[in-house]
């Protein structure tokens, strides 16, 4: 009887140690810090531009969910940006992934999950078919969130950006706000509207997507 009690205590002690280490491992795994992006409190348009530049420099990264309208097409998408990296994920009406566009600086990876194809190239090659990418992809991503890029010309109100010219694209923000709510991007005959549904700041690392082995070589993506 005594041996049985000792064995039971040893088993309970072993189980407690396993739970303790498992709990410690869970606690030590750091979750991403996420927070809403606070609106501006600027006294003028010039003050807003200064605050926006400072906010962009401090931003650890961001994620947004939005609706995109391009011609007769309308779809939901997720936008992520962190430093020189950006990722745009397009969803089907069933909320499955239709396509993923990832850029790190000037290098672009495009995955078409519907046709199971992949394409890799430069932002300048992408701009040949998608004129809205006639600038650095991460700058375009920041613009869609309501932040100015490192170049370009901007008009702002105390609430946020009102109009921007970045390279050969123009952006209109209606209404001006941070984060942006409704953005219209024009490049020649291309006209695309973005409606931001949710925008949060996050320090979750943005990594390049893995290319599935069964994906075939595809062409430059088009709208």
| pLDDT tens digit sequence for 139-165 | 999 999 999 988 899 999 999 999 999
Q: Which fold has domain 36-217?
A: outer membrane lipoprotein receptor (LolB), chain A (2.50.20)
Q: Are strands 62-70 and 73-82 parallel, antiparallel or unpaired?
A: antiparallel
C-alpha–C-alpha distance, residues 195 and 182, integer Å: 5
3-state percent breakdown (helix, strand, coil) of the chain, nearest 5: 25, 40, 35
pTM of the model: 0.82
Scored b (16 or more CB within 10 A) or e, 187-207 reads beebebbbebeebebbeeebe
Strand partners, 40: none
| pLDDT at 27 (0 to 100) | 40
pLDDT range class, residue 13, cuts 50, 70, 90:
very low
pLDDT at residue 108 tops 80: yes
Measured CA to CA, the distance from residue 206 to residue 24 in angstroms comes to: 26
Determine contact, residues 193/174, Cβ cutoff 8 Å: no
Give one DSSP letter per residue of 152-187, joined into a string.
Answer: SEEEEETTEEEEEEETTEEEEESS--SS--EEEEEE
Q: Phi/psi zone of residue 146: left (φ > 0), alpha (ψ -120 to 50 degrees), beta?
A: left
pLDDT beyond 60 at 70: yes
- Give pLDDT, residue 132: 64
Mean pLDDT (whole number) for 39-67: 96
pLDDT digits (tens, 9 = 90+) for 78-104: 999 999 999 999 999 999 999 999 999
32 - beta bridge partners?
Answer: none
What rounded mean pLDDT belongs to the chain?
A: 86
């Amino acid at each position: 009887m005594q041996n049985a009690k000792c064995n039971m205590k040893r088993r309970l002690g072993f189980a407690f140690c396993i739970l303790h280490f498992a709990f410690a491992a869970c606690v030590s795994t750091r979750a991403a810090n996420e927070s809403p992006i606070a609106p501006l409190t600027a006294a003028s348009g010039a003050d807003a531009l200064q605050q926006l530049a400072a906010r962009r420099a401090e931003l650890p990264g961001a994620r947004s969910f939005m609706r995109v309208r391009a011609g007769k097409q309308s779809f939901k998408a997720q936008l992520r940006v962190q430093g020189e990296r950006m990722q745009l994920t397009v969803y089907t009406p069933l909320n499955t992934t239709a396509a993923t566009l990832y850029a790190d600086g000037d290098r672009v990876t495009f995955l078409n999950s519907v046709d199971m194809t992949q394409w890799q190239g430069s932002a300048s090659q992408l701009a040949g078919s998608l004129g809205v990418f006639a600038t650095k992809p991460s700058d375009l991503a920041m613009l869609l969130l309501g932040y100015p890029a490192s170049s370009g010309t901007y008009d702002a109100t105390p609430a946020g950006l009102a109009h921007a010219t970045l390279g050969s694209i123009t952006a209109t923000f209606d209404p001006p706000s941070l984060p942006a709510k409704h953005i219209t991007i024009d490049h020649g005959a291309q006209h695309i509207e973005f409606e931001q549904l949710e925008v949060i700041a996050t320090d979750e690392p943005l990594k390049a997507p893995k290319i599935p082995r069964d994906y075939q070589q595809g062409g430059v993506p088009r709208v």
